[in-house]
């Protein structure tokens, strides 16, 4: 299984390329071409080993999910020329991640455990337990850092720092909650619970568009619905399909992305386990069998498919 750690293509009309934590983004003028590599990140660090088929899972699941919400908000995506590639409108990014939380888990739980009863200016009720549902989903935005860590930020600071206008904030909030509601219903139909997720938006011709990825295991946390209540009552860990188990493994090895900490080595069996979990989530959420590409050089395949696609657009 050949994993894609990085791409370095040169396409017609290419202006520049940006290598993100997971995606390599090619600027083609009015359009962007995003190639989902098999890199995996946690705690804002790219981990040393790539995960076979992870990029394909993310790209195909994202395309599937985007189409399911295209009636709620304009989407940047227009085509998928390769299992690892997405093509769409280049938007001006809004420097916020709109994090929606339906349950007290992950970062919110760690804050709660530390005694905090407010996150991003949003109150969290007393007496909650880990993985319990909030009375209503809450929005806990974070800054979108070009480098380093994203940071929690409140609605009040967003407006005072003029990151967006109040009108834009209200629209982003509505879109985010509507998307979370849709994602929750889709997950429920598949026997899953959408616990929390993030959305990113941008402007194109003064209209807000949904960007990046949605409802993937990199951007979202899912619990299995079956047995959720029993596990909650008994205080057991929830059975989940998301990237959180990778973070938990890293924390157990003493790594949380802090200064001076070394990223632990992923053993082969753990790489295989991560790959299987990503594929499993894809199959559960889409109801489709995951099809692995032909056993050929994935970089050559990606380049060939994209060049053919771009040639047909001329």
Write down the residue that tokens 């409140």 correspond to: 154
Instruction: List, for the chain, all residue ranges whose pLDDT scores fall below the cut of 70.
Output: 1, 145-149
Residue 32's pLDDT is 97
Nearest alpha carbon to residue 311 among 89, 81, 78 = 81
| 11 burial via Cβ count (<10 Å: 0-12, 13-18, 19+) | middle
- DSSP 8-state assignment for residue 261: P
Angstrom CA distances, 42 to 100, 113, 278, 293, stand at 19, 21, 15, 27
What's the CA dihedral at 238, 240, 244, 245 to 10 degrees?
90
Nearest to 20 by CA among 39, 1, 3, 4: 39
The predicted structure's pLDDT at residue 109: 96
Instruction: Name which of 217, 246, 226 is nearest 65 in CA terms.
Output: 217
Positive or negative torsion for Cα 256, 259, 264, 265: positive
CA–CA gap between residue 61 and residue 59 (Å, rounded): 6
CA distance 65 to 214: 7
Give the model confidence (pLDDT) of 136-193 as tens digits.
Answer: 999 999 997 655 567 899 999 999 999 999 999 999 999 999 999 999 999 999 999 9
b/e burial code for range 84-98 (CB count within 10 A of at least 16 → b) = bbbbbbbbeebbbbb
CA distance 6 to 209: 27
What pLDDT score was predicted for residue 196? 96
Q: Would you say 154 and 260 are in contact if contact means Cβ atoms under 8 Å apart?
A: no
CB 271 within 8 A of CB 52: yes
Which domains can be identified in the chain, with CATH numbers? 16-92+247-313 (3.30.200.20), 93-243 (3.30.470.20)
Q: What tokens does 17 get?
A: 């390329």
Q: Does this model's pTM top 0.75?
A: yes
pLDDT of 148 reads 53
Given a contact cutoff of 8 angstroms between Cβ atoms, the answer to whether 57 and 282 are in contact is: yes
* Cβ-proximal residues to 135 (8 Å cutoff; 6+ apart), any chain: 125
Beta bridge pairs of residue 100: 139, 197
**What is d(CA 129, CA 113) in angstroms, rounded to the nearest whole number?**
9
End-to-end CA gap in the chain: 35
Write b or e for each residue in 173-184: b if 16 or more Cβ atoms lie within 10 A of its Cβ, otherwise e: eebbbebbebbb
């Amino acid at each position: 299984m050949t994993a894609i750690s990085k791409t370095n293509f040169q396409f017609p009309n290419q202006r520049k390329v940006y290598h993100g934590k997971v995606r390599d983004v090619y600027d083609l003028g009015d359009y962007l071409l995003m190639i989902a590599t098999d890199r995996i990140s946690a705690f804002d660090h790219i981990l040393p080993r790539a995960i076979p088929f992870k990029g394909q899972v993310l790209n195909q699941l994202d395309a599937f999910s985007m189409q399911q919400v295209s009636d709620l908000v304009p989407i940047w995506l227009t085509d998928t020329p390769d299992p690892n590639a997405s093509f769409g409108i280049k938007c001006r990014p809004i420097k916020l991640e709109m994090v929606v939380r339906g349950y007290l888990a992950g970062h919110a739980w760690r804050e709660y455990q530390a005694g905090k009863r407010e996150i991003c200016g949003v109150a969290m009720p007393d007496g909650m337990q880990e993985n319990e549902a909030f009375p209503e989903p809450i929005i806990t935005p974070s800054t979108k850092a070009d480098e380093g860590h994203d940071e929690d930020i409140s609605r009040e600071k967003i407006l005072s720092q003029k990151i967006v206008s109040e009108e834009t904030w209200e629209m982003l909030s509505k879109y985010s909650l509507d998307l979370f509601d849709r994602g929750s219903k889709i997950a429920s139909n598949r026997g899953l619970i959408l616990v929390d997720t993030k959305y990113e938006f941008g402007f194109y011709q003064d209209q807000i568009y949904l960007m990046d990825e949605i409802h993937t295991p990199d951007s979202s946390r899912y619990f299995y619905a079956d047995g959720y209540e029993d596990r909650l009552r008994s205080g057991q860990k929830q059975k989940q399909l998301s990237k959180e188990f990778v973070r938990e493994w890293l924390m157990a090895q003493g790594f949380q992305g802090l200064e001076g900490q070394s990223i632990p080595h992923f053993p082969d069996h753990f790489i295989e386990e991560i790959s299987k979990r990503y594929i499993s989530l894809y199959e559960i959420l889409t109801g489709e069998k995951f099809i692995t590409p032909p056993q050929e050089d994935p970089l050559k395949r990606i380049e060939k498919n994209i060049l053919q696609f771009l040639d047909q657009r001329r």
